[in-house]
Chain A
Amino acid sequence: MKLSLKVWRQQNAQSKGKMVTYPIDGIDGDMSFLEMMDVLNEQLNDKGEEPVVFDHDCREGICGSCSLQINGQPHGPDRLVTTCQLHMRTFNDGDEIVIEPFRAKAFPVIKDLMVDRSAFDRIQQAGGYVSVNTSGNTIDANATPIDKADADEAFYSAACIGCGACVAACKNASAMLFTAAKVSQYALLPQGQVEASTRVLNMVEQMDKEGFGNCTNTGACEIECPKGISLENIARMNREYLAASAKG
């Protein structure tokens, strides 16, 4: 397969950056998108140019490192996959592929296609936990039965990999789906109840502080989420937030 790649190159956070076009040949349909990027980098390396920087690690769709806005969509055109699991068979010979970093004010570019997603960490630090010490004598795991439906629901919320596709896809660069997923996980479990109010208030406050946009319910985040995190989480967070605000 022969392709034309238009890749965002930016030396560091301060520099301006621009799109650069690279032709590439010999791409196999069985390659993952990142393996295609490896081929590009090997080419650049051979020419003595600096390879394109991008985040990636596990390459099996779970660590959430890989990002990339591919032809205008986070993680590319396929659904329910991360870029590392997007395969080149999705594209056709001769295609032009535009590759950009995830763009949001809260995700500043570090270099080329790599962005700083530490805003996500700070949102979690603001309350994404249950305050329980490690003692070895917390109550027995089976002491509190949890409705299977709630446990499953909590799991689906907890499946978020923190990749930032929701922010990248959203026309408002909103981080509501990400924040809501964590709020939901704990809201659905008895262990999360005690701190539920402060958690949602603090996490939302931090989310706003980071400069993410507002949610306008376009639903793009849900569609683009590689883990299929549902919009219901956002509704639940809204409920939790409003209830917590009313409580004061």
Chain B
Amino acid sequence: MGIISSSIARKFAMALSGLFLVFFLGQHLTINLMAVFSPDLFNETSQFMGTNPLVQFLLQPILIFGVVFHFVMGFILEIKNRNARVKSYAKYKGSANASWASRNMIISGLVVLAFLGLHLYDFWIHEMTVKYVSGDMTGLVDPSDPTSGFRYFEETVHKFESPVRVGLYVLSFVLLAIHLWHGFASSFQSVGFNNKYSVALTKFAKVYSILIPVGFIFIAIYLHLNQLPH
């Protein structure tokens, strides 16, 4: 594994990939919020993101790599860490000295991962199929009719018709918040940043960890409640 053969290097890599994903979440939410405030802007941005070669062939693979790396490394660390204590305690009071979020990153992480499966199924696979299998790069509701308008907003809204799906999304975002609550602030420590600025930075990280998932939850519920007439 070369560079990531040592515990600290792995931890560093975990932190960097995490920070990258945190940044991505911010960007994702920004675009999604457009769906609430300006469906047109949302459509245009979606079309841009979906067709820009830089985004599609550079940023998207990096993102995929980042996600895959983060969870593969997460699993590796979890397994290694479990192996570091062969015999477990009969009584272990983890709550006495560490938060639930910090002790259960694997659980929150797995939920987010499962959610990611659903989310990719909902949007990404569909997009990939339309764009690269069917070869329709127009982003139009009816590819043969340039006046039909972009399909993204409409498709997104349809996804949030089902209350079950909305429920799953909300639950996942709660777990995402928990994951971020520990992960974001902790990544500064991992990269060696712990000094007089840490208090402020940690506060920012905690606020961010709540705001981002709340934003997603808001969108999900908003779209669910504001269904387009069929």
| Chain A residues near B (Cβ < 8 Å) | 6, 8, 19, 69, 71-73, 77, 98, 100, 103-106, 169, 171-174, 176, 204-205, 207-208, 211-220, 223-224, 231-232, 234-242, 245
Contact = CB atoms under 8 A, between A and B. Distances in A.
A212 B6 CA distance: 12
Interface residues of B, number: 40
B97 interface: yes
A224 B6 contact: no
B85 A105 contact: yes
B230 interface: no
9 contacts: A19-B90, A72-B96, A205-B6, A208-B6, A208-B7, A216-B81, A223-B97, A235-B189, A241-B9
Interface stretch (B25-33, B99-107, B149-157): B99-107
B19 to A, nearest CB: 13
A103 B84 CA distance: 9
Interface in B186-208: 186, 188-195
A72 B91 contact: yes
Contacts of A223: 96-98
A236 B192 contact: yes
A78 to B, nearest CB: 11
B7 A176 contact: yes
A39 B83 CA distance: 36
Contact of A173 (B11, B81, B99, B186): B81
Contacts of A100: 89-91
A238 B93 contact: no
Interface string B123-161: 000000000000000000000000000000000000000
A164 to B, nearest CB: 13
A200 B18 CA distance: 25
Given A173-B84, A220-B97, A214 B89 contact: no
Contacts of B224: none
Nearest to A74: B97
B99 A242 contact: no
A72 B92 CA distance: 4
A171 B8 contact: no
B179 to A, nearest CB: 12
A207 B84 CA distance: 12
Chain A CB within 10 A, most for which of B7, B102, B188: B7
Contact of B7 (A105, A215, A224, A235): A215
B188 to A, nearest CB: 8
